[in-house]
Structure 1
């Protein structure tokens, strides 16, 4: 913890972490707020699911595209434009009574214009700290984001149930604008300029560490989404146990990230972290008792934030600075698709064999991730004693002779 204290005393680090967490806080609220609102308006969870699907498709497309735009037009311009469009789309979703296809269009626009805060801040981090501090910073970032997933769903559910779904969505808009404005006005966004990438969109995926970070992110978040569906199926949407068990899952991730953040990242780091997740999720298969599930998910959670930190670090160390934002955009897209796949597979298995089917799905996702990390260990960079900052962009210098 002393190391994190030193890190947070580095000029600007505490401020930028707080600003980006606030700006990303709506990410933990929007899906649930849209689900509750559309179901309330239409009386159909199926309709709400279609709007959420359209939103997720928009987010998946936007990830690498808007992140790459930051190297063309600058971070502040892209973040301001996407923030304005996204806030407007969510506000219209809340205030207008529309047929389902138009709700889907607004959901798609809101997803497509989701501000690329995560890509921006992880591109900025290497310019704020020393190479020795970068890996702990990625770990701290991955750990603290669990606060979003602990507090945001509880907050939006409380507001939606007590005040209504329209105030719930408008609260998302207020936090989106306030947090986004705070992040956009951060001095670091003016000091750091992302060079224009000279490679075609998607070429960064040719780099094995980026592809591995995208693939393992897909599998890790797929496992988490399957487990979340299983917990809800085990105790019901309104069961107190659901919230408590999922909170324990997030607390495990927070504790793991803070505990392992200082450990240097070797080639086997991802496999070891996936092993922890797989062992914990395997235990969930054997009992649906709340205490058993809480203990099992606490163990599984310990590996999640550290695994995410490995993804961010190996990506940073493997690409040029001009490619970092796009690379993180692809990783985010992989995680979004993983979340959808995990929920879908879990849903089918819950209908077929009951809640335990979701835990089996989560274990399989994690097990495949462990297999990928172990089989591809030679392509994971060894960052022990090595600078994990992005590769500097260089270009020919014309001299007068």
Structure 2
């Protein structure tokens, strides 16, 4: 922990971490709030699912696009514009009754205008600390973001069910505007300028490390989404046990991220960390056949804590290898693609788990989660040479260089 204390003493680091976590807090609330609100208005979970799907499509498209725009128009301008549009969209969804197609269109706009805070802050980090501190900073960031997934769903569920879904959406708007303004007004956001990328959109995926980070992130988050569906199906929507078990899953991730943060990242780091997730989720898949160790709750809690220990460390590897493999002008777009991969993974994991739950019961979701994690492990092993070795290198982005124009003139002969 001494290393993290030294890191947080670096000027601005603690403030920017707190600001970006607050700005991103709505990410753990928006989907659930939209689902609850549209279902209450229309009386149909199917309709709510369509609106949520439209929102997710918008977020997936926006990831690399708005992140790339920050190199063209500047971080503050892009963040402010998307923040305003997103806040207006959520407010309209809360206060205006409309048809299902209108809700879907508004959900799409809201998703497209999700502020690219994650891409922005992970582009800023390399400019705030030295190369030795960068990997621990990514680990700390990956760990602390678990706070969002522990607290945000609980808060929005309480507000939406006990007060009202309109108030739930408006609560998100307040946090979005307050946290977003705090982050946008942070001095570091104004000081760091992302150079305009000279490559076309999507070319950054040609970097093996970025492509591997996107694929592995897709599989990891797909596994986590399947776990969430399985836990809810096991205990029911109203079961207190579901919230406890999922919170412990996140606590395991938080502990793992802090514990692994000081370990240098080699080529096999991803495989080792995915192995932890795979083992934990494979044990989870055996849950329904286990009657000891506290029954269902005790067994699930224990195995998911084990699996969670690997989650934040895997994300830390994703962030570090991405930063170290691209030019500074490409970092924001690269993180945008990784975010899109994770969004698609969440949708795929939830969908596969849902079909299996309907077919064979909750255990099918845990099997799906283990398969997603195992696929991530296989990718990490088979393509191990595509992961950079950062044990003795610099995790900072590659500097942007360009030819310097010079004026020459012939030398007169005597």
The equivalent residue for 2:332 is: 325
Extract unaligned runs of 5+ from structure 1.
none
Aligned pairs for 1:47-58 within 5 A: 47-58=47-58
**Matched residues in 2 for 1:393 and 1:276: separation?**
37
Larger radius of gyration: 2
The equivalent residue for 2:412 is: none
**Matched residues in 1 for 2:176 and 2:25: separation?**
8
1:132: how far off? 0.1
1:291: how far off? 0.5
Cα shift readout 1:134-193 (whole Å, capped 9, x = no counterpart): 000000000000000000000000111111000000000000000000000000011100
**Matched residues in 2 for 1:203 and 1:185: separation?**
31
**Matched residues in 2 for 1:187 and 1:290: separation?**
46
1:400: how far off? 2.9
The equivalent residue for 2:236 is: 236
Provide TM-score, normalisation by structure 2.
0.96
**Matched residues in 1 for 2:159 and 2:218: separation?**
31
Question: Does the alignment pair 1:154 with 2:160?
Answer: no
The equivalent residue for 2:181 is: 181
The equivalent residue for 2:395 is: 388
Question: Does the alignment pair 1:110 with 2:110?
Answer: yes
Extract unaligned runs of 5+ from structure 2.
289-295, 409-414
Structure 1 residue runs of 4+, over 6 Å off? none
The equivalent residue for 2:9 is: 9
1:56: how far off? 0.3
The equivalent residue for 2:203 is: 203
**Matched residues in 1 for 2:224 and 2:116: separation?**
22
Cα shift readout 1:210-253 (whole Å, capped 9, x = no counterpart): 00000000000000000000000000011010000000000000
Matched residues, number: 401
**Matched residues in 2 for 1:190 and 1:295: separation?**
44
**Matched residues in 1 for 2:275 and 2:174: separation?**
40
Q: CA RMSD in A?
A: 0.5
Provide TM-score, normalisation by structure 1.
1.00
Cα shift readout 1:333-357 (whole Å, capped 9, x = no counterpart): 0000000000000000000000000
**Matched residues in 2 for 1:385 and 1:368: separation?**
29
**Matched residues in 1 for 2:102 and 2:302: separation?**
44
**Matched residues in 2 for 1:397 and 1:220: separation?**
43
1:398: how far off? 1.3
1:286: how far off? 1.4
**Matched residues in 1 for 2:334 and 2:12: separation?**
24
**Matched residues in 1 for 2:311 and 2:144: separation?**
12
The equivalent residue for 2:143 is: 143
**Matched residues in 1 for 2:83 and 2:98: separation?**
23
